[in-house]
């Protein structure tokens, strides 16, 4: 009975979200049928549009996975955006510095570099939280803006392409670009990197003692302290992995998609990642599904704007509304959930 | 002293105060909220909503004061959603704030497009003009900066005094503090933890909405997508830098406002320094201050923790 109540409450959220979307579409004065058709055809209409969903899902899977690992041990990482940019800085720096390396060495090296840069950017707030109890929410948020500032400065000074007037770096050497895995689309090997990371994280966090400790710290830090599991060490560990994954997301975006460093690599992936992790219940498989879902929502809303004239900001509204409803679920559907 | 130098300082001070005003207003609101234990990272959403509704109403009625009230109402609306989620639903306050940022960001640009359509020229309304305060206005340097400004600057200055008085000189302030530090104890002492927290959210909405309105009705005279452009997050930084102390928030907001004023001037003068140096300056300072303040507990103990009456 409880289980079906839970199911019904999520169904209720879906219905509410759908009604709000219909209301918004009616407010623009568009035809609801046409809007939904254009939404779906924006996602499934062509081979290319489906591949676009996966292109958008790649950074969301990686950053979402990072946020999920952090949340599992109680580290609320709002800083995936900044960590992503730090990863992007790392890959650009390494690729230009060691430009003679062959791809077989270069690719693993830049991924490692992105992991380290993103990880360091997250382990500092992690250290401040674990050692001194300073809230990671504000520190990670501030680190986002510092990272963005550093990127802005770099693409105008040291890493600037001298042959261009725009604030961006030169194209990376060929050895530092990920191959396209589906011809005539933008889908690059970053998706494979993301999926491999999902498997590794699942093994690490769910199948090893170290992962068990990290999850235990998230569930009950006091009990861990009493039974000899170091809260300090595990928060450091999970914040490092959390930021590292976001850093890899930055690496994939630069090496797979843009092939250079510029300021607009991420349209807020790091913030959407928090929603991805929440919807995916902080589980690797859930993260993949919700990342694909949110990517589809964004790609579909582009189609809806093109064909039905509904502004794309509807996708941002829907994301916000879904999260708010999920947060309020237990109160809205209290009857359903407490029924014997 | 060189009169040219004094003129320059005066100009920068005037600009800094203008830039700091939205941050002071929103920062004070957030400080009240955080003192009561509600961490709302949706300040951006509150400000954006305030900016949007204040503009829409003053555009269609032509009355700036009605716009001001609408901005406050818009701020309260968003803040109370966050309040209900974090107090009644006991939800994760950070995620609630973030979700509100997404929702309000989408909603304001969506509604703006519906009302005005795709336009090449932004629709605009008038802004509150400067009001000279007699006598005080003539004080050199600080006179023009503090006493020849628009309504929002005066509201911000008065709010600082009122909040400081409220925090440190009234029983209400003590209650607010108690609820944020130890809600169980406050409950045992007969305080209504829920009501006090809702009140704090309400104040946050009023001041945050005013902060948003001060951008559209005090500075720009128009609205566009994401008009607050991260000022809500900077206000959060001002609160941390100012340690939730009204005077501290004023000082922090002025430092940030000054660096923003410098940023715009360097941009227009074409100095070869990337403006990002200035835009990341407040955050770097805030991180340094955090490092320096290590060891002193500055956060309310129950910040971000939902209160449940029958739990220890």
A320 and B104 within 8 Å at the Cβ level: the answer is yes
Asked if A314 is an interface residue toward chain B (Cβ–Cβ < 8 A), one would say yes
Asked if A316 is an interface residue toward chain B (Cβ–Cβ < 8 A), one would say yes
Give the pLDDT of residue A198.
96
Asked if B194 is an interface residue toward chain A (Cβ–Cβ < 8 A), one would say no
Q: Which residues of B touch A141 (CB under 8 A)?
A: 41, 233, 236
Q: Report the residue from A132, A134, A149 with minimal CB separation from B276.
A: A149
CB interface of B with A, residues 126-185, below 8 Å: none
Asked whether the predicted pLDDT for residue A2 surpasses 90, the reply is: no
pLDDT digits 0-9 by tens, A271-314 = 999 999 999 999 999 999 999 999 999 999 998 888 888 888 99
Best to test chain B binding among A277, A320, A334 (most B CBs inside 10 Å): A320
Neighbouring-strand partners of residue B132: B148
A140-144, A192-196, B44-48, B135-139: least confidently modelled range: B135-139
User: ipTM of the predicted structure?
Assistant: 0.88
Q: Report the residue from B95, B280, B287 with minimal CB separation from A323.
A: B95
* Rounded-to-integer distance, Cα A310 and Cα A307, Å: 8
* A57-300 has CATH 1.20.1530 classification: no
A142 and B98 within 8 Å at the Cβ level: the answer is no
A197-206, B142-151, B265-274: least confidently modelled range: B265-274
- Torsions phi, psi for B92 (to 5 deg): -65, 115
Output the 3-class SS for chain A: CHHHHHHHHHHHHHHHHHHHHHHHHHHHCCCHHHHHHHHHHHHHCCHHHHHHHHHHHHHHHHHHHHHHHHHHCCCCCCCHHHHHHHHHHHHHHHHHHCCCCCHHHHHHHHHHHHHHHHHHHHHHHHHHHHHHCCCHHHHHHHHHHHHHHHHHHHCCCCCECCCCCCCEECCCCHHHCCCECCCCCCCECHHHHHHHHHHHHHHHHHHCHHHHHHHHHHHCHHHHHHCCCCHHHHHHHHHHHHHHHHHHHHHHHHHHHHCCCECCCCCCHHHHHHHHHHHCCCCHHHHHHHHHHHHHHHHHHHHHHHHHCCCCHHHHHHHHHHHHHHHHHHHHCHHHHHCC
Asked whether the predicted pLDDT for residue A337 surpasses 80, the reply is: no
pLDDT digits 0-9 by tens, B217-248 = 998 888 988 888 888 988 998 998 888 899 99
| Separation in Å, CA of B122 to nearest CA in chain A | 17
Q: Give the best-scoring range by mean pLDDT among A183-187, A209-213, A298-302, B48-52.
A: B48-52
Q: Which residues of A touch B98 (CB under 8 A)?
A: 78, 271, 274-275, 323
Average pLDDT, chain A: 90
Domain ranges of chain A: 57-300
Best to test chain B binding among A29, A146, A148, A168 (most B CBs inside 10 Å): A146
Averaged pLDDT for residues A66-94: 94
B117 against A49, higher pLDDT: A49
What domains are defined for chain B? Answer: 3-292 (1.10.3470)
pLDDT digits 0-9 by tens, A131-175 = 888 888 888 989 999 999 999 999 888 888 888 888 888 888 888
Give the pLDDT of residue B131.
79
Give the pLDDT of residue A340.
43
**B11 confidence band (pLDDT: 50, 70, 90):** confident
A150 and B304 within 8 Å at the Cβ level: the answer is no
Nearest-Cα residue of chain A relative to residue B115: A28
């Amino acid at each position: 009975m409880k289980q079906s109540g839970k199911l019904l409450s999520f169904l209720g959220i879906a219905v509410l979200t759908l009604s709000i979307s219909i209301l918004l579409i009616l407010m623009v004065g568009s035809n609801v049928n046409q809007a939904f058709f254009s939404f779906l055809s924006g996602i499934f209409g062509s081979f290319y549009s489906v591949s676009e969903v996966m292109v958008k899902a790649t950074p969301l899977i990686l950053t979402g996975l990072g946020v999920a690992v952090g949340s599992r041990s109680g580290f609320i990482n709002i800083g995936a955006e900044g960590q992503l940019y730090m990863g992007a800085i790392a890959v650009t720096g390494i690729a230009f510095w060691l430009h003679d390396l062959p791809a077989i060495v270069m690719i693993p090296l830049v991924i490692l570099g992105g992991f380290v840069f993103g990880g360091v950017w997250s382990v500092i707030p992690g250290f401040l939280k674990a050692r001194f109890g300073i809230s990671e929410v504000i520190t990670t948020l501030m680190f986002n803006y510092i990272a963005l500032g550093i990127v802005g400065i770099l693409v105008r000074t040291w890493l600037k392409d001298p042959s261009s007037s725009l604030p961006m770096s030169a194209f990376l050497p060929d050895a530092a670009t990920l191959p396209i895995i589906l011809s005539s689309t933008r889908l690059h090997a970053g998706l494979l990197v993301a999926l491999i990371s999902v498997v590794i994280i699942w093994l690490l966090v769910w199948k090893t003692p170290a992962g068990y400790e990290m999850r235990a710290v998230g569930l009950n830090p006091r009990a861990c302290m009493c039974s000899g599991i170091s809260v300090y060490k595990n928060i450091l560990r999970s914040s490092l992995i959390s930021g590292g994954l976001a850093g890899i997301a930055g690496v994939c975006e630069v090496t797979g998609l843009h092939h250079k460093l510029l300021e607009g690599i991420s349209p807020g992936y790091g913030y959407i990642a928090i929603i991805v992790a929440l919807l995916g219940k902080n589980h690797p498989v859930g993260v993949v599904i919700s990342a694909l879902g949110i990517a589809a929502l964004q790609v579909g809303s582009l189609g809806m704007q093109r064909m039905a004239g509904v502004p794309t900001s509807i996708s941002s509204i829907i994301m916000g509304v879904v999260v708010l409803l999920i947060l309020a679920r237990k109160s809205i559907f209290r009857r359903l959930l407490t029924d014997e | 002293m060189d009169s040219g130098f004094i003129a320059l300082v005066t100009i920068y001070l005037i600009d800094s105060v203008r830039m700091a005003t939205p941050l002071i207003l929103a920062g004070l609101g957030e400080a009240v909220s955080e003192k009561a234990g509600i961490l709302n990272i949706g300040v951006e959403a509150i400000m954006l909503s305030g900016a949007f509704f204040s503009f829409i109403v003053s555009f269609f009625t032509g009355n700036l004061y009605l716009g001001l009230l609408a901005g406050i109402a818009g701020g309260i609306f968003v803040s109370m959603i966050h309040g209900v989620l974090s107090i009644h639903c006991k939800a994760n306050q950070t995620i609630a704030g973030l979700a509100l940022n997404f929702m309000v960001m989408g909603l304001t640009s969506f509604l703006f497009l519906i009302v005005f359509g795709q336009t090449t020229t932004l629709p605009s309304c008038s802004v509150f003009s400067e009001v000279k305060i007699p006598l005080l206005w003539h004080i050199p340097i600080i006179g023009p900066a503090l006493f020849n400004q628009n309504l929002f600057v005066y509201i911000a200055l008065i709010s600082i005094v009122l909040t400081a008085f409220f925090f440190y000189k009234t029983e209400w302030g003590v209650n607010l503090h108690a609820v944020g530090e130890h809600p169980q104890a406050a409950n045992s002492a007969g305080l209504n933890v829920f009501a006090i927290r809702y009140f704090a959210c309400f104040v946050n909405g009023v001041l945050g909405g005013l902060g948003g309105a001060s951008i559209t009705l005090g500075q720009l005279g128009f609205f566009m997508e994401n008009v607050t452009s991260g000022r809500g997050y900077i206000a959060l930084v001002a609160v941390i830098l100012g340690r939730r102390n009204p005077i501290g928030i004023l000082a922090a907001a002025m430092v940030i406002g000054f660096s923003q004023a410098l940023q715009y001037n360097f941009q227009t003068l074409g100095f070869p320094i990337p403006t990002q140096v200035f835009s990341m300056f407040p955050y770097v300072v805030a991180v340094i201050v955090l490092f320096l303040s290590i060891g002193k507990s500055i956060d309310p103990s129950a910040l971000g923790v939902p209160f449940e009456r029958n739990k220890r």
